[in-house]
Amino acid sequence: MRSLLHQPAILRIALPVHSVILRTMATASSSSSSLLFPSVSLNKLSSSRNASSLGFSVTRSRVSMSLSTESQTAINDSLFAHYKPSSAFLFPGQGAQAIGMGKEAQSVAAAADLYTKANHILGYDLLDICVNGPKEKLDSTVISQPAIYVTSLAAVELLRVREGGEQIINSVDVTCGLSLGEYTALAFAGAFSFEDGLKLVKLRGEAMQAAADAAKSAMVSIIGLDSEKVQQLCDAANQEVDEADKVQIANYLCPGNYAVSGGLKGIEVVEAKAKSFKARMTVRLAVAGAFHTSFMEPAVSRLEAALAATEIRSPRIPVISNVDAQPHADPDTIKKILARQVTSPVQWETTVKTLLSKGLKSSYELGPGKVIAGIFKRVDKSASVENISA
């Protein structure tokens, strides 16, 4: 029997995940949370390298080449370790997409230009799908990820032309994004270009889709338990299933709301046992694949190769990683983190709590939906997050 580490998953259509989770919050009672934070050894995160990481071609501009060379210089990864956030840009992940997004962006030339560039990179009319659908197409992993990335960065351009918008953008001293949104945050922070980021996001969606084709797996949201209880529930379920069907916490979203992923049989056992662990309710998520678990392992090598060939620089401001809830400055470390992100639990709850405990004063959610604003409110009712849509 293959171990969980190497077990691929099946993913038919990735429908809204985080939005589905969030919609269940209103029915769940508040509960204290004790995070089970997995240790992550960056030294063990593998990353492919090749000569292309020194520069895409000899025809690149002198500035581009100098930046690429700089990315190979040793950089202290703990450069942002003692960051003190005051203003944050927050970028949504898959599940925030909705028909009609991107339409408002067409009123601003710089924002509209992003969709034009995206069409050339993707090979299809992204804006048309964003505005007109069909919904099933927009919700698919390979479309929704580029769509949210582009629309979120278009929202930055809409904010820029607003009165006082440029001042807000310049005041941002930390950024992060939920899963996919980490790529958007890195692009905003200058770690890579819009174009290179979109190419990575395109490949990420395709790799996750492909990685999900060989095993039956699922995700379920557990409402009303703290993370310790959810872990105990997973442990109990794992005692009753084979290795290939084992489950784990995949998303530490916010207090009382955690997503569990794994083999289909394991998920069914979790659902059957949840009530005996005093869970308020369970919600089977509208996906057929186990995101952010080892079921996505087949996608890692493709991401490693793409990241190795991509010019990544040290971000100009801290970008908080989903893998360990820490900012990283070293480009090579960022590449390793991004490659492993698809198989690692999302540490969003820790990210939000850390930002708030460090004194974060103002936050802006840029892109479709208001999922992140809802999560912040769940962690701290007094938290204020302004949504900038496009």
Catalytic residues, which ones?
179, 292
The amino acid that residue 237 corresponds to is: A
Q: What are the DSSP calls for 8-46, one per residue? A: ----S----SHHHHHHTGGGSPP-----------GGG--
Q: Under 8 Å CB-to-CB from 369, ≥6 apart: which residues? A: 19, 92, 95, 96, 97, 98
Q: Edge-to-edge strands of the sheet including 217-223?
A: 247-254, 257-263, 217-223, 281-284
Structure tokens at 193: 């270009």
Structure tokens at 151: 């629309």
Q: How far apart are CA 178 and CA 346, in angstroms?
A: 8
- Alpha helices of the chain — where are they, by DSSP H? 18-23, 62-71, 109-122, 126-132, 135-139, 141-161, 165-171, 181-188, 194-211, 227-238, 264-273, 300-308, 331-341, 348-357, 371-379
